[in-house]
Every structure is written in structure tokens, then in C-alpha cells.
Amino acid sequence: MPPRRKKSKTRRRKSLTSLIDVGTSLVVANATTQAMFGTNMWEFFTAGWFGRPNSSGSWRLSLNELVMGAIDPSTKMGMSDSFYGAANGGFSGAVMKNLKDNGAASLATVIIAPLGAKLLKRVARKPIADMNKWVFKPINMGVKL
């Protein structure tokens, strides 16, 4: 009996990063930080660092305040319950106030943004495929629309 013919291995192409999915994720993350911390994602991550002023003393929270409050509670920042005062409920009181003020709009954004992205992908399937074929594939950056 003759030996079996070996099948050639199918090459698997590296998966590409979808710019629409990245944009959707950024919108959802921004809505989440707006709901919980009362500020947008950029302000949350950069306030207090890179020479930018901190948002201490307001209902807005930043990552710097949370980290500094966790490291040294005597700084009376972020995680410290006495930072916002016992009457306001401390850190949890600030988050609850932000959720009360911004929660509904952020929840709507978290639900609608992925649905809108999915609808956009379906409606604009042909233009997206053309952009991927004629713009992104020749430059070989590992992204697609």
C-alpha cells in the first residue's frame, strides 16, 4: 500500500484589530468612568500626573487620588473616607453621587454604543470591505475598519 499523501498545513492569518471595535470600547469605557468617577476617561487617567492639576476637593475622582489614598491614607485623597467628609459618605458617597447624576446617560451609552457599532458594520459592509482591501491591507498595519 502506498504511503498517504501529507496534507499541506493551512496557514492561519494573524487576526486584525478592528478600529470600529476599538472605538466602541473607548466609548463604553468613557461612559463608565463618567458614571462612576464623574469625569471622562482622559481626565481620570491623567489628572494629577504629567504636570496636570488634580481634581481633589470635588466630586470628580482621578486615578491619582485613588492610588495616593490607597498608598498613604494620611493624604486624605480618594480612598480615604474622610476626604469627602463623613457627612458625604466618603469615597463611596462620591461614587454614589456620580452614579446618581450620570448613571442613566452612561447606562444608555453602554447599551446603545455596541448596538450602533454592530448596525454600522452591517449597513456599511461593502464600503468597509473596500476600505480594508484598498487602504489597510496594502499598508499591512494589522488593523481593519
Q: Band the pLDDT of 110: cuts 50, 70, 90.
A: very high
Q: Band the pLDDT of 123: cuts 50, 70, 90.
A: very high
Residue 56: predicted pLDDT: 58
CA atoms within 13 A on the CB side of 9: 3
User: Quick one: cell of 94?
Assistant: 462620591
pLDDT digits (tens, 9 = 90+) for 39-91: 888 888 887 777 666 665 667 787 877 777 666 666 555 444 445 444 556 67
Does the pLDDT at position 13 exceed 90?
no
> How many residues does this entry show for the chain?
145
What burial class does residue 25 get, using C-beta atoms within 10 Å of its C-beta: 0-12 exposed, 13-18 middle, 19+ buried? middle
Report whether 40 contacts 32 (CB < 8 A).
Answer: no
* SS3 (DSSP) at 67: helix
Q: Element (H or E) spanning 31, and its range?
A: helix 19-37
Strands (E), the chain: 17-18, 143-144
Q: Which long-range contacts (CB under 8 A, 24 or more apart) does 83-87 make?
A: 83/56, 84/59
